[in-house]
Chains A and B, each alone.
Chain A
Amino acid sequence: MREISGCGHIGIFDQSGKLYDGELVMRAIAAMHERGNGLGGGFAVYGCYPEYRDYYAFHLIFDDEHVRKEAESFLEEKFFIEYAEPIPVEQSKRLYTEKSSGINPEEERPEIVPPLLWRYFAKTQKSDSEKHISDDDYVVSMVMHINEKIDGAYVISSGKNMGVFKGVGYAEDLAEFFKIADYRGYAWVGHTRFPTNTPGWWGGAHPFTLLDWAVTHNGEISSYGINKRHLEMFGYKCTLMTDTEVMTYILDLLIRRHKLPIEIALKAVAPPFWKNIDRMPDEERELIKALRMVYGSLMVNGPFAIIFAWSRGMVGINDRIKLRPMVAGVKGERVFISSEESAIREICPEPDRVWNPRAGQPVIAELKEEPEYAVSRK
């Protein structure tokens, strides 16, 4: 069964590379409490592991110790692991989910038991026959392997100097559970979820990631079936049956593997209408026409607002007819992308500018300076 959900999300990006802690994103996501139902929340942070910035930071979840052993022996075979530890959590924090709109909510709140949460800082360890594969491609195939072949293990994030913390529960509770306020980063993404069925699985929360890509998503991809089938031709395995996973892979294919500039890749994801393309100047028309011809199966159709981030930037974009909310704001070098203006105002009461981006028009924030690398973990 493919899961579908509504949600709220917020992205904060500091274009000067200045680090700030997770309290902002916590407050912003708490302001959008009504957009979640306690069945999932999560955060991505960039710049949080400066001391391991040259290592792939793997965040994994395991069902039990047995699976952890199995996955670790695979990781040890494929990677040189510099450091491994359980992800620190606030043990006293209890996570709940809202079971229904219940008359007696206190009784109706089942407690959530977290899975095993671990992180590994590692470099690739390729065999002779794998030497020709780029590090990133190598990591992608290993992530695919773990997610697909090792039952009960799942890679939450796999980029450098970034991490994703996500799970089942209300986003603001998860923020306390993961001690989000203790991390510092130049870019943050937060997400709260309202799934319409109850998978109750930690891997199913947002953000979804691959390498340093992190994607959060509010919407339902009506073109899911064909997006998935097209991606499969390029070796992606859509194991999670979620829309957001597909979005992550599409961006990876277009931007990392096909090397399209981000603004061009976004034109493939949410292309202009033919009636507008037909009126464009020759060069632009030929380009957009070619994008639609070649990448028609990757057009993401249906209501969505997505925020995706990578180590050097963050983008927010809506579907072609803006069927989900997305608001953007700017204050100095700091860019905000959110489901609601209230979340932006909560953490930045007087932004320089707040606007509603038009359908299919991306908001792009990129690093103008190198990020500040102070030790971020207190």
Chain B
Amino acid sequence: MDFGPHLMLASLEGAVTAAILALTAMGLSIVFGVMRVVNVAHGEFYMLGAVLAWVVASMVGASPALGFVAALVVAPLIVGCIAVVADRVILQRVEYDPDRTIVATIGLLYIIQQTTLMTFGPDARPVEPPFNDRLALPWFELGESGFEMFWPWGLSITSYKLFVIFAAMAILTALWLLMTRSKAGLIMRATQQDSETAQAFGIPVGRVYSYVFGLGAGLAAVGAVLVVPIQQAHYLMGHDPLLLSFIVVIIGGLGSLPGTVIAAFLIGMSDGIISVFFTPTLAKIFATLVVALVLVFRPQGLLGRVER
């Protein structure tokens, strides 16, 4: 394959990564934005979404498509409910104190992860995609006889991966509408700006926090359900998404939702492209150093505002 088609393939793979990452990181970003807490257990909610997707899909069993749709609805709901309970039982009682929340969510991380290990087991398990046709992609080049189109061998994408990209875009749009056009979004934004004043205006801040925590976890779970047909469900799969989501949220600017999407796109794409052309380890060293230096010289992130 030539450089051009190769690059296109890499960016398509990158776009899939970016789509999943955008959903997961958005969950973390909303939780941080509204509640001002760092949720270290976010990666485990992601893992739980994937594992539950497998459970639901194998329970339905009839056809892959039906099982997948059921998983897409049920798994995020269950994960959201678990998060709401965790918020009520633990986070609300430590009063969202930053340090204590971090420790409590580290504890939560181990509880979820190890409980999954005990019930689901240490094996990686696949979920069958609802549809998985291979779509060959054309490539255009200026040849001897003018501009011509041909089909390079190996330049293709599965229909499912395309679906993931569009599904993520649809969900993010829906989320944006929810935040900017609905009453629930208004309440969330009010709580984000000033929780005390919001409380004074009769907003049940405690309940808003619980729902926001549930929503954040649910978003991670949606990302995970979308990813299980590509990548198998495993009890340790939460690590990388957690780290990457953190990077995305910070780079995008804390609490800035558009920033999160842009950063997810940048990091997902560069991850896809860099790891195709360079050795993965060198690429990762480079990427982590860039992230660190961006933060050193622009601590508020790309779209974040300086708080004074």
Pair from one complex: no
